Amino acid sequence: MSYHGKKVVILGGGSGMGLSLAEKIVALGGQAVICGRNTAKLQAAADRLGAAVSVSTFDLGEEQAVKAAFDRIGAFDHLVSTAAQLTFAPAVELTTEQVQSMLVSKFWGPFYASKYAAPHIAKNGSITFFSGLAAYRPAPGASVVASLNAGLEGFAMTLALELKPVRVNVVSPGVVDTPTWDFLSDADRKGLLDSVAASLPVGRVGQAADLADAALAVMGNGFISATVLHVDGGGRVA
């Protein structure tokens, strides 16, 4: 599918799956607006990808900043949120501040973004959120992550009715090799990714490009709405 003349806004587009999606949109002839809090990271990505990529810096937890960003961006075609700021720890150890950050990236962000994108998004466009396998395969340390992923899916299903004919979908990744795991030491990161790979039917963890392709699939298919696309290497049944 060609993205010539199309503009895609990617919340979290400065790294991981969002950045891979921006690369693919540009390769398909479209424009991407990559959004996040870290201007230097976003600008470095934009400089690498060229003039079809622009940067918008704001924190998804700041309602007026989100509104102002969408007012500046103006008319566009597709919204994708890969934003996440997550802490993996047992529920009894999580601080309120850590939970607030998680809520911002996976609830308030998608909520504010949908609300303030709605007047600007094309009627034949779409919104795609990213949830995650934790909602389906509980694992110690991921209680809040699981809750937010499940909540995001419920939000999206209802939004598909409220914002129709704009389509609203969710991509649910399994474990994917992205900077999200950079909080681990190199050895722990490799250990985690290797053990997950060995446990999966596909024998490997995901790459950012796998998930970017999944986002393109739901964005580009005008008959897909209110759908959760699982892209987890078979992780739900492993």
Using CB under 6 A, list all residues that contact ligand NAP.
Answer: 12, 14-18, 36-38, 41, 59-61, 82-86, 104-105, 109, 130, 132-133, 173, 175-176, 178-180, 208
Q: With respect to ligand NAP, which residue has the nearer C-beta, 177 or 223?
A: 177
Q: With respect to ligand NAP, which residue has the nearer C-beta, 124 or 175?
A: 175
Residue with tokens 């850590």: 98
Residue 12, Cα to own-chain centre: how many angstroms? 6
Residue nearest to ligand NAP (CB): 16
The number of helices, as runs of H, and strands, as runs of E, in the chain is 8, 9
CB of 202 to ligand NAP, least distance (A): 14
Q: What is the DSSP letter of 104?
A: I
Q: With respect to ligand NAP, which residue has the nearer C-beta, 5 or 13?
A: 13
CB of 5 to ligand NAP, least distance (A): 26
CB of 236 to ligand NAP, least distance (A): 12
Contacts with 149 (C-beta within 8 Å, 6 or more apart), sequence order: 106, 131, 132, 133, 134, 135, 172
Q: With respect to ligand NAP, which residue has the nearer C-beta, 77 or 177?
A: 177
Q: With respect to ligand NAP, which residue has the nearer C-beta, 6 or 41?
A: 41
Contacts with 44 (C-beta within 8 Å, 6 or more apart), sequence order: none
CB of 175 to ligand NAP, least distance (A): 4
CB of 4 to ligand NAP, least distance (A): 26
* CA 237 – CA 44 distance, rounded (Å): 39
- Sheet of 228-231, strands arranged across: 53-57, 31-36, 7-11, 76-81, 121-130, 167-173, 228-231
